[in-house]
């Protein structure tokens, strides 16, 4: 007998509980992907995510075929398509792995209720998180709003984490079952020249094997010294696994198991712990979005309801998006994002602080741009990252802590490796002039004539204005 395995953002075969449950029950798993982006509205996947998804689904189909199965692709209302598939295959069970965004939860609940009457076994599983958001509670019994106590509690599960290996062979789903060609979904940008994402794919290999390779590279390399090097955007100091984690091409349990199985020298204990705590931030973001589902649009801290954000000036917003602000660390980050679909975490904080404090635009303008351009765009992590940097989250950098793009450059990219890579028009400046080139007009004329002479805002004055705006909120609150 058949069981539908509905793939969504769990695009892997290893440690996939929905797939495993179908196999364990002796069913023939029928792997299905249903394209229904409008069901995730208003956060249907952005352009970079769709381009990644296209390749990831191709990889999943290839991996399934290598084991004797295949991916059946459909498009349309998920409930209607599932009902058709159940009739066509006479399936006895339906399995999927859970999502935690509000629109997906509402859709999945509707589907569970819709199918209940059919006498079918419908089961959801946890593939994405180390801890389900409802299982970790404060002493008073509510959700956490602060990371440190959350992680102190949640990290207790690390000891018992296990990850299941992939099935070696899979039975073939019914041959008569029709599906679309992935190309029919038009996920990738239209093939006009030059395609904006064309440069991405020398940096990334979407799919489960790409994720596992990257994990090996990380365990052999950047893990050693992670705690210090993770803040240096000019180096490969982090795992770069975020898009793979977002699409579920690798499970966090697999990461934890690999870290715990290693025969590591004692000296890297702090690196291991720090990496685990970054995975903890991912868990915390999902905890927050589950318990505070309005936060993708609303400030978690209600005090910011009346914050005097500046009216968004389209020219300034565009200068930020295109990396033409005249502030090198901001421009380098925005160009890395455009060229690769990813940006280093330290630089994400710098560009987000610049937009929300120096330009004083609402963090949603930045979150929207990231949503469309990041290959790892993730509603939970993106919301948490923007609210944290803007200072509007509950467990946030205090609003008055405003990142200085100049001192951040001096601390974390002192030799300018990162700035020179993304801003070739500044490459000839001496190291000492890179962080704040406007202070050296003569040098700029001679060695960097193509870079803006002045930042689009005065850093000091805009910082003072942001602090004054904050003081007005505090006085009201």
Helix H or strand E segment including 285:
helix 269-291
Give 281 or 338: the residue with its C-beta nearer to ligand FAD.
281
Give 366 or 452: the residue with its C-beta nearer to ligand FAD.
366
Give 7 or 43: the residue with its C-beta nearer to ligand FAD.
43
For residues 428-454, one letter each, b for 16 or more C-beta atoms within 10 angstroms of the residue's C-beta and e for the rest, the string is ebeeebbbbbbebeeebeebbeebbee
Query: What is the distance between the alpha carbons of residues 332 and 175, in angstroms, rounded to a whole number?
Result: 51
Do β-strands 28-35 and 2-7 pair in parallel, antiparallel, or remain unpaired?
Answer: parallel
Give 84 or 411: the residue with its C-beta nearer to ligand FAD.
411
Q: Look up tokens 């565009």; give the residue.
A: 318
How many chain residues bind ligand FAD (CB under 6 A)?
28
Give 4 or 245: the residue with its C-beta nearer to ligand FAD.
245
- Shortest spacing between CB 372 and ligand FAD, in angstroms: 11
Q: In this chain, which of 389, 392, 404, 408 binds ligand FAD, going by CB under 6 A?
A: 389
- Shortest spacing between CB 378 and ligand FAD, in angstroms: 4
Give 72 or 367: the residue with its C-beta nearer to ligand FAD.
367
In angstroms, the Cα distances linking 36 to 29, 42, 79, 80, 376 are 21, 13, 10, 11, 19
H helical segments located in 206-251: 208-220, 226-229, 242-246
- Shortest spacing between CB 276 and ligand FAD, in angstroms: 9
- Shortest spacing between CB 17 and ligand FAD, in angstroms: 19
Within 10 A of 129 (CB to CB), how many other CB atoms are there? 22
- Shortest spacing between CB 9 and ligand FAD, in angstroms: 12
CA count, 13 A, side-chain hemisphere, 424 = 0
Q: Look up tokens 């160009």; give the residue.
A: 335
Rg (CA), the chain: 24
Identify the CA nearest to 344 among candidates 240, 214, 204, 223: 240
Query: What is the distance between the alpha carbons of residues 443 and 422, in angstroms, rounded to a whole number?
Result: 19
Query: What is the distance between the alpha carbons of residues 337 and 333, in angstroms, rounded to a whole number?
Result: 6
> Binding string, 220-259, against ligand FAD, x = CB under 6 A?
----------x-------xxxxx--xx-------------
Give 74 or 282: the residue with its C-beta nearer to ligand FAD.
282
Which residues, 318 to 377, sit near ligand FAD by CB under 6 A?
A: 345, 348-349, 352, 370, 374, 376-377
Residue pair 256/130 in contact (Cβ under 8 Å)? The answer is yes
From the number of C-beta atoms within 10 Å of its C-beta (0-12, 13-18, 19+), residue 149 rates as middle
Q: In this chain, which of 231, 273, 278, 372 binds ligand FAD, going by CB under 6 A?
A: 278
Give 99 or 349: the residue with its C-beta nearer to ligand FAD.
349
Which residues, 283 to 322, sit near ligand FAD by CB under 6 A?
A: 285
Which residues, 412 to 441, sit near ligand FAD by CB under 6 A?
A: none
Which span sits near ligand FAD by CB under 6 A: 140-148, 166-174, 383-391, 432-440? 383-391
Which span sits near ligand FAD by CB under 6 A: 5-13, 150-158, 274-282, 391-399? 274-282
Give 78 or 251: the residue with its C-beta nearer to ligand FAD.
251
- Shortest spacing between CB 202 and ligand FAD, in angstroms: 17
Helix H or strand E segment including 384:
helix 379-390
Residue pair 241/375 in contact (Cβ under 8 Å)? The answer is no
Give 50 or 240: the residue with its C-beta nearer to ligand FAD.
240
Q: In this chain, which of 279, 327, 334, 473 binds ligand FAD, going by CB under 6 A?
A: 279
| Beta bridge mates, 97 | 125
Which span sits near ligand FAD by CB under 6 A: 29-37, 314-322, 380-388, 420-428? 380-388
| Beta bridge mates, 416 | none
- Shortest spacing between CB 384 and ligand FAD, in angstroms: 6
Do β-strands 72-75 and 28-35 pair in parallel, antiparallel, or remain unpaired?
Answer: parallel
Give 61 or 101: the residue with its C-beta nearer to ligand FAD.
101
Chain residue whose CB lies nearest ligand FAD: 385
Residue pair 436/331 in contact (Cβ under 8 Å)? The answer is no
Give 126 or 440: the residue with its C-beta nearer to ligand FAD.
126
Site membership for ligand FAD, residue 392 (CB under 6 A): no
- Shortest spacing between CB 69 and ligand FAD, in angstroms: 28
- Shortest spacing between CB 325 and ligand FAD, in angstroms: 16
From the number of C-beta atoms within 10 Å of its C-beta (0-12, 13-18, 19+), residue 152 rates as exposed
In angstroms, the Cα distances linking 39 to 8, 44, 79, 96, 374 are 12, 7, 11, 16, 20
Residues forming the site for ligand FAD (CB under 6 A)? 230, 238-242, 245-246, 278-279, 281-282, 285, 345, 348-349, 352, 370, 374, 376-378, 381-382, 384-386, 389
């Amino acid at each position: 007998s058949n069981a539908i395995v509905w793939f969504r953002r769990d695009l892997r075969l290893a440690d996939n509980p929905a797939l495993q449950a179908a196999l364990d029950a002796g069913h023939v798993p029928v792997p299905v992907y249903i394209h229904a982006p409008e069901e995730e509205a208003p956060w249907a996947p952005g352009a970079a995510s769709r381009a990644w998804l296209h390749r990831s689904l191709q990889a999943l189909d290839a991996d399934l075929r290598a084991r004797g199965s295949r991916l059946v692709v459909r498009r349309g209302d998920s409930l209607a398509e599932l009902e058709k598939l159940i009739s066509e295959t006479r399936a006895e069970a339906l399995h999927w792995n859970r999502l935690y965004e509000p629109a997906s939860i509402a859709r999945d609940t509707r589907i569970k209720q819709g199918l209940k009457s059919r006498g079918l076994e419908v089961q959801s599983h946890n593939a994405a998180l180390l801890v389900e958001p409802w299982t970790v509670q404060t002493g008073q019994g509510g959700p956490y709003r602060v990371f440190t106590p959350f992680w102190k509690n949640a990290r207790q599960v690390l000891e018992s984490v296990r990850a299941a290996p992939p099935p070696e062979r899979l039975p073939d789903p019914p041959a008569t079952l029709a599906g679309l060609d992935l190309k029919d979904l038009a996920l990738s940008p239209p093939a006009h020249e030059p395609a904006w994402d064309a440069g991405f794919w020398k940096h990334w290999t979407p799919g489960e094997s790409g994720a596992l390779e990257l994990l090996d590279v990380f365990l052999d390399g950047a893990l050693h010294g992670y705690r210090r090097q993770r803040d240096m955007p000019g180096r490969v100091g982090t795992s770069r696994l975020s898009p793979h984690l977002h699409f579920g091409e690798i499970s966090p349990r697999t990461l934890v198991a690999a870290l715990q199985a290693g025969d590591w020298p004692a000296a890297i204990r702090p690196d291991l712990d720090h990496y685990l705590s970054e995975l903890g931030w991912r868990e915390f973001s999902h905890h927050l979005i589950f318990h505070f589902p309005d936060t993708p649009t609303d400030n978690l801290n209600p005090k910011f309801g009346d914050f005097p954000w500046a009216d968004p000036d389209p020219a300034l917003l565009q200068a930020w998006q295109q990396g033409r602000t005249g502030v090198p660390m901001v421009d380098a980050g925005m160009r890395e994002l455009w060229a690769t679909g990813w940006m280093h975490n330290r630089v994400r904080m710098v560009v987000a602080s610049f937009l929300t404090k120096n330009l004083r635009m609402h963090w949603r303008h930045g979150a929207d741009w990231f949503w469309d351009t990041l290959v790892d765009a993730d509603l939970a992590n993106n919301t948490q990252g923007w609210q944290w940097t803007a200072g509007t989250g509950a467990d946030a950098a205090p609003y008055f802590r405003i990142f200085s793009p100049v001192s951040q450059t001096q601390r974390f990219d002192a030799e300018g490796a990162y700035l020179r890579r993304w801003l070739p028009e500044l490459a000839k400046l001496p190291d000492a002039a890179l962080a704040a080139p406007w202070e050296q007009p003569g040098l700029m004329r001679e060695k960097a004539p193509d870079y803006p002479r002045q930042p689009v805002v005065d850093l000091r004055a805009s910082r003072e204005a942001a602090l004054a705006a904050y003081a007005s909120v505090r006085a009201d609150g």
